[in-house]
Amino acid sequence: MMPARPAVFLDRDGTLIEDKGFLGDPNGVELLPTVVDALKLLAAHGFATVVISNQSGIARGLLDDVQVRSVNAEIVRRLAADGLGIDGWYWCPHYQDGCDCRKPEPALLHQAVREHGLTLDRAAMIGDRGSDVELGQRAGIAGIAVPGPMPYVGPEPDLRANTLLEAAEWIVRRGR
Ligand SMILES: [Mg+2]
Ligand SMILES: [Zn+2]
């Protein structure tokens, strides 16, 4: 068996790209500052990267699955220009359905671990909302908050980072 890879789980909207609220148009993708450098650092240290996103716009009828995929594909295209990739994309399409995949529920994180042969040793979940930090902490990994469009409300993060790069530096340092 291949050794399990360490992983960093990432929120999408407000963490990798500007949170524009139910973004369905790939032309609206704007990578946030330091994202490329953060992902380069994580890749250089052997971390897999997995996006876990709540896309309740689907259940609300504001978006469809094809639009979510097209936005994800645009992010992939932008990152590929810097030789970067994302190992897995997971999103919850529900809203108030009592599902087990909407953050902070941990089902998608555990699915990613199984499907990609990941280890939670040294892992972290990074996002701009309390549900991101709570998901990480519920899964027994570090929950890191980065600044988003809204003031942070949620459990005390293991780290409050000013940028995604700062978060990545902390993860890499801690993992040594
Ligand atoms: Mg977010
Ligand atoms: Zn769900």
pLDDT tens sequence across 141-156: 999 999 999 999 999 9
* pLDDT confidence band for 96 (50 / 70 / 90): confident
Distance 82 CA to ligand 1 centre (A): 23
Q: Are 10 and 145 in contact (CB under 8 A)?
A: no
- pLDDT, mean of residues 124-141: 98
Q: Answer whether residue 59 shows pLDDT above 60.
A: yes
Confidence of residue 43 (pLDDT cuts 50, 70, 90): very high
Q: What's the first-to-final CA gap in the chain, in angstroms? A: 24
Average model confidence (pLDDT) across the chain: 96
Going from the Cα of 148 to the center of ligand 1, the distance in angstroms, rounded, reads 7
Predicted local distance difference test score (pLDDT) of residue 97 = 79
pLDDT level of residue 176 (50, 70, 90 thresholds)? low
Among the bound ligands, name the one nearest to the CA of residue 129.
1
- Mean pLDDT in residue range 100-120: 97
Quote the pTM value.
0.96
Is it the case that residue 175 has pLDDT exceeding 80?
no
Per-residue pLDDT at 8 exceeds 60: yes
For ion ligand 2, residues whose CB falls within 5 Å: 92, 94, 99, 101-102
Cβ-Cβ contacts under 8 Å for 53 (sequence gap 6 or more): 11, 12, 13, 89, 90, 91, 92, 103
Residue 79 CA to ligand 1 centre (angstroms):
19
Beta strands in 23-167 (DSSP E): 48-54, 88-92, 118-127, 142-145, 159-160
Residue 113 predicted with pLDDT over 70: yes
pLDDT at 4: 87
**Domain 5-175 is found in CATH 3.30.413.10:** no
Q: What pLDDT digit, counting tens, does each position of 80-94 carry?
A: 999 999 999 999 999
